[in-house]
Amino acid sequence: MLITLKVPRVPASWYKLTEIIKRTDDTSKSNQQIIDSTCYFCPECEQESTNPSKCTNAKCSYYSNCLVAPHTFMVMNIQQQIEEVLRSTHQNDLDLSAQTSTESTTSLIDIHNGDVYKNIVHSLRKENHKFFISLTYNIDDAAVYTSSEQSMWTFIACLNELKRSIRFNIEKMIVLAVGVGRKKPSRLIMQQMLNPIVTRLKLLQKPCLYRLSNGFYQMLRVYLIGISNDKPANSIVQNQPEPNALFGCAKCEIAGRTTPAKLHATPNQSGKITTVFIRIFPTEIGEQPEMRSNKKLMQLWTESPRKQPWSLSKLLPLIACDLSKIHYPTTTTRAPRSLMKCLKLKANECRVLLLIEYPIFKNYLQDVYYQHLQKLAFGISIGESSNISMTMLDEMNLLLTSFVDEFPYHERYVVQTVHCVKHFATTTKDVGPLSNYSTFNYESVVGCLSSSVHGTKNVSSELAKNI
């Protein structure tokens, strides 16, 4: 009857209908195999629960009256996803030659030229199975949908041996785990979430047989060599102090010191006005200890009082007019919005402003502040290059170190996002050019996962089916 009524896409026969039903069953079974385990964590007592709707700990207040549902945490089958990626990747797009090459390269082109990757290659020289694939990890949170009270934490990774042009394609990414909850997970809950992932990654370090796209089999190990997160995620995942806390810099472990948030703060006389203190991280020249540092500069230029020598608040209309005349490269994914909205600019927009639009400010900033901006722009440009020599790396280190040590603004503005610029050259030496492990590369995957949820009642179940 459906064929008679000319309903579109109707199976032509009973045989084809049974084939479609069978194919659907096979797909649902494969989806179930992707999810290794599902855990629930109570946000009140921070213990694991066996019930997805309430806490099962009798001593917890949420046992009888659950105000917030437990966090749902789904751990994926990592090995199965790696097998599927390797099987679907053309042999020319998978490069393992750096693990057997005897040539010593001094230039930094990709992650395999960094010291971290080279150390793994050197440690496996005498092993029978010396080939491996490496992962770069990203953990981020996103709203499940607009104006949602629920947030989703994604644990995703990429294979560094894939060609750069396909490395961050969504079909080549590995989803290690996904967590959904109405509250931000505490440090204790995050550590419990990471435990099953760490256990699986340790097992993958042992040689295992993988099938490649050409039909051949290869014994490979899997190593996690780095993690690319924003500052708040780093502190909760790696159990580090908050960026604005004591010893907030994990690289050099400088304690920092507190200073009044306002430059001309006076002692509290009446008790009615509270002086707010913030932690700064000034460093001295000779001490060896993200793009948001550029956003900090723009805030200083646009938000500071007009009496400050670096203030550009009166000239913003002229600057905005000059910036609007710039023609961006075709590779620019998003042209930055007006400088009037600098507080709302995303990090990617700040990156474009820094690398492309900085010469505009020569006509408006005093020489000392423009030359200071040039140090940041030139240093980051070197770090973003596709081929970095050792000489260029030394220049990058000098420029960015000078940018922090000779900060011409008040020391009150040397916050963590400014201080961490000093360590960019060291990071580049360890794992290659900055563009290979930027958090920008993972945003599309996080957005795709969050957009796959359309319901509001059982987000975790819908997300599991879509994955």
For residue 185, what pLDDT is reported? 87
What token pair was written down for 127? 């092993």
Confidence of residue 413 (pLDDT cuts 50, 70, 90): confident
d(CA 125, CA 120): 9
pTM above 0.85, yes or no: no
φ and ψ of 398, to 5 deg = -65, -45
Q: Summarize pLDDT for 100-147 with one digit per residue, the tens.
A: 777 777 789 888 889 999 999 999 988 888 899 999 989 988 877 666
* Per-chain mean pLDDT for the chain: 79
Confidence of residue 278 (pLDDT cuts 50, 70, 90): very low
pLDDT exceeds cutoff 70 at 90: yes
| 454 or 381, which is more confident | 381
The conformation of residue 433, written as its DSSP 8-state character, comes to: -
d(CA 203, CA 221): 9
Q: Summarize pLDDT for 210-250 with one digit per residue, the tens.
A: 998 888 889 999 999 988 888 778 778 877 777 666 666 76
Q: Summarize pLDDT for 26-44 with one digit per residue, the tens.
A: 554 445 578 888 899 998 8
d(CA 77, CA 197): 10
For residue 248, what pLDDT is reported? 64
φ and ψ of 157, to 5 deg = -145, 160
Angle 107-443-441 from CA coordinates, rounded to 5°: 15
Amino acid found at 250: A
